[in-house]
Amino acid sequence: MMQESEVSLYLHAEFLPNIRQTTLYVSLPGTAAFKDIHPDVQLSQSRKAVTVSLPSPFQDTTETIKLPARVSDASRRALQTRIKPTPKANGGPFEFSFRMQVDANDEALAPRDELIDDFVPWTADKMSASTRIRCRKCEQHLLRSSTSDNIGDEDDDSVQSWAWKDLPSGNWAEMMDFWHCHKPDTHEGHGKDEKESALRIEDQTAQTKGYGADSQVVAIPGTVLIDVATFLLAESDCSGLVKVNDEERKSSTEFFAARTLHCTKCRSIIGMEDPIAKGWRLLKANVSLNIKQDLDTEAGWETHSAEVIVAAQLLELIERESARRFVVHCGQKSGLLLWVFNPDMRYSNSNPGHSVMAQQAMKVFFQETDDVDELLHPEIGNPSPLSVEELELPTMIFEATWTALRDSNLILPTSARKFNEWQVGLLSRYSRGSA
């Protein structure tokens, strides 16, 4: 007989906002000993957690998780209903699922536009003049001191005060071009010379303020410009970074190798050169920041994973382009086709690597594609069956995202890992409420 210590009880709960319910999955080992076992599910007094236990002879096996939303008191009856387990596939575990109605006053039912805001980590309003950036791997500082004679002396106490500014959204330039070409004529009734003079002044003002038809974003010394995935700095403001040399460039398989920036200490890839913006872009996923203004302890530094940054990029594209399907690649022939099924999902589970608290993520359907170009640029007469947007990533960010999707697929209940030809995964996403 199976020993009690060998019994595994796995719980997973998902909040389904469209139908205002939370689904609880309970998985038992797929052996004959559990064929007729029915778990006992108890809802906590606060209705924010459940505890699952097994009957004899496995009465010592219990598991508790927090629910992603408070459920109604009527859910207690639903949890006591005896249901048949989902038929196991290929010797998989026995699975039970329970649907619970979410409490009508729970904050999880707030309007969706409120829930999707603030998904970008490290925006300008979180920074201060003394915020610093360092290599995530070896902790070498990457912002140059303005007072140190030795440009490599990043520990100097007297350092430059930095200005931090958020860059506009990705469709900013397109909107400005549209406005410049189609703006209404506000100079009717003026003489020709007066009208031309007013237009010249208006165009000069537009260029100065950055919304002219031919304006573009460029790096500014002393200022860190922030977009969803990178920090844009002037080369003169960076320290501890080196551009890849010709020999490394030829031997590298990294698509961005022609403009890759490496940490001089550990040789990790930190970012890439941006000739158009006349600056260097540091990848948020490859650095750490001292947001808490505490340079002396590790508690003052924070990082964000590649999947969180990529999730923010996808959310920005969803908001800007109203797209849900994406071809994600790193410049190679193959890549991933993603379908963002739910951009703001709450879930919790009893996986040892996860917090006992509810997590926020994107539910993503994904599949590999052998030919990225075929999806992005179908041949004439052979239209693409999907409307997709493109997201090109550095190789290491793409690989980390691919790994995150595969790993998250394995923590889902067996019955929830596939949807038709798609695999199902989760990408952790950022929200200020959890930061």
- 192-231 tens-digit pLDDT: 566 566 555 555 554 444 444 455 789 999 999 999 999 9
Please tell me whether residues 259 and 375 are part of one structural domain: no
Q: Tens digits of per-residue pLDDT, 44-68? A: 999 999 999 998 888 888 999 999 9
> Do 132 and 13 share a structural domain?
no
Last residue of a domain, one of 247, 276, 300: 300
Give the residue from 300, 315, 350 where a domain finishes: 300
What 3-state DSSP class applies to 258? helix
Run of H or E including 168: none
What length does the chain have? 435
CATH of the domain at 296: 2.170.150
Same domain? For 396 and 273 the reply is no
101, 136: one domain: no
The region, left, alpha or beta by phi > 0 then psi within -120 to 50, assigned to residue 160 is beta
Parent domain of 92 = 4-109
Domain count for the chain: 3
Distances (CA, A) of 218 to 71, 149, 167, 234: 50, 27, 10, 9
Return the closest-CA partner of residue 6 out of 88, 65, 55, 61: 61
pLDDT for 406 equals 97
| Whether residue 313 is found in the same domain as residue 270 | no
Q: Are residues 35 and 82 in the same domain?
A: yes
Structural domain includes residue 60: yes
What lies within 8 Å, CB to CB, of 177 at 6+ separation is 213
The last residue of one of the domains, among 300, 330, 361, is 300
Tens-place pLDDT, residues 116-135: 558 899 999 989 888 999 99
Q: What six digits make up the tokens of 351? A: 């996986």
| Domain presence at residue 179 | no
Instruction: Kindly state whether residue 205 falls inside one of the protein's structural domains.
Output: no
Task: Tell me the pLDDT band of 285, cut-offs 50, 70 and 90.
Answer: very high
Q: Is residue 264 part of a domain?
A: yes
